[in-house]
Amino acid sequence: MNINDLLKDYLDYLEIEKNRSVKTRANYERYLKKFLSFSKISKPEQISQDLTRQYRLWLNRQFSSQGSDKTIKKNTQNYHLIALRSFLKYLSRRDIKVLPADKIELAKQSERQVVFLENNELERLLKAPSGDSFKDLRDKAILELLFSTGLRVSELCGLNRDSINLTAIAGKSGEFAVRGKGDKIRLVFISDTAKATLNKYLAKRRDVDEALFTRNIKNPAKSDNLRLTPRSVERLVKYYAAKAGLSKKVTPHALRHSFATDLLINGADIRSVQSLLGHSNITTTQIYTHITDKQLREVHQQFHGKRRK
C-alpha cells in the first residue's frame, strides 16, 4: 500500500481505536508528514535505519522558528521520533514489513527543570486575590483549586458545575473524578480552604452557564460560551504572581509542581503522588524526588566536612 494511505489509516486508528483527541491526531499527522516530506518515500519498506538516522540529524539542525538562531529542543525532536515509532508499531501489527520501532532511539534530553513555590511564596500567591468581587472570588478559587488538586490547567478549564458534587464538598470527603490525559479518570481531593473559596465564588455567580469557571462579562445572558480558557488562566496566574512580588516564572503548572513537592516533602510515597497527578509512568513523577529527598539532605548535614577544623 501507498504510505500516504497507510498514514491516513493510522491516524483514523489513533482517533477511533486508541481514543486519542483530535488535537493529538493533528499533532501526529504534522510530525509524520514532516518525515514523509523529508524522506520522499512512497512505501513503508523504504524506511531504513540509515534513513531514520539522517532524519534525526536533519531534525537536530532545524531552527525553532524562521529567523531564529536556536535549533529545535531535544524534547520537540523526540515528539517527532515518538510519532514515527508509533506509526511503525502500527504497521508491524498489520503484518507489514517495516523497520522495527525499537531501532529508533530517542534523543537524550537534559533533566527537566521543575519550578515550584516555597511555602512563603505559595501563601503570598494564594492571598493575592483579596477582594469580594466576582473576579477576585473566582481567581482565588482557581488558585486554591489548582494547588489543592494538582489539576492540569486544561483539566481545570474543562470542569463543569456538575463535575463537582457540592454535597460532597460540604462534607468531609471533598473528592471528585476528573478525566485527564489519555481519557483516564482519576480521583482528586479538595482542601477545606479550597472548598470555602469555591463555595464563595459559586454563591456570587449569576449566570446559568455549565462551566465551573467563567469569564467576567457585564451581560452573561447575551454570551453563548462563558468558559474560561487555559490561556486566560495562565494570564491570571502570571498577574497574581507579579502582584505577590514573586520573581519566579509562575504558571498553572508550577502550582501542579508545588502540589507534588508539598506531598513528597510531607512524607507521601511516590506511588500515591503518581496516582494523584495522573501520571501513566512512575519516571514522570520521579522528577520531583531530587528536590524533596530529605534523607540526602540530612546525610549531607550529618557527615559532610567533619574533618575540617
80, 152, 195, 257: the active-site residue: 152
28, 55, 201, 288: the active-site residue: 288
80, 138, 195, 279: the active-site residue: 279
Active site residue 152: yes
Active site residue 256: yes
25, 80, 195, 256: the active-site residue: 256
Active site residue 34: no
Q: What is the 3-state secondary structure (H, E, C) of the chain?
A: CCHHHHHHHHHHHHHHCCCCCHHHHHHHHHHHHHHHHHHCCCCHHHCCHHHHHHHHHHHHCCECCCCCCCECCHHHHHHHHHHHHHHHHHHHHCCCCCCCHHHCCCCCCCCCCCCCCCHHHHHHHHHCCCCCCHHHHHHHHHHHHHHHHCCCHHHHHCCEHHHCCHHHHHCCCCEEEEECHHHCEEEEECCHHHHHHHHHHHHHCCCCCCECCECCCCCHHHCCCCECCHHHHHHHHHHHHHHCCCCCCCCHHHHHHHHHHHHHHCCCCHHHHHHHHCCCCHHHHHHHHHHHCHHHHHHHHHHCCCCCC
161, 181, 204, 215: the active-site residue: 181
Active site residue 253: yes
Active site residue 279: yes
Active site residue 308: no
Active site residues: 152, 181, 253, 256, 279, 288
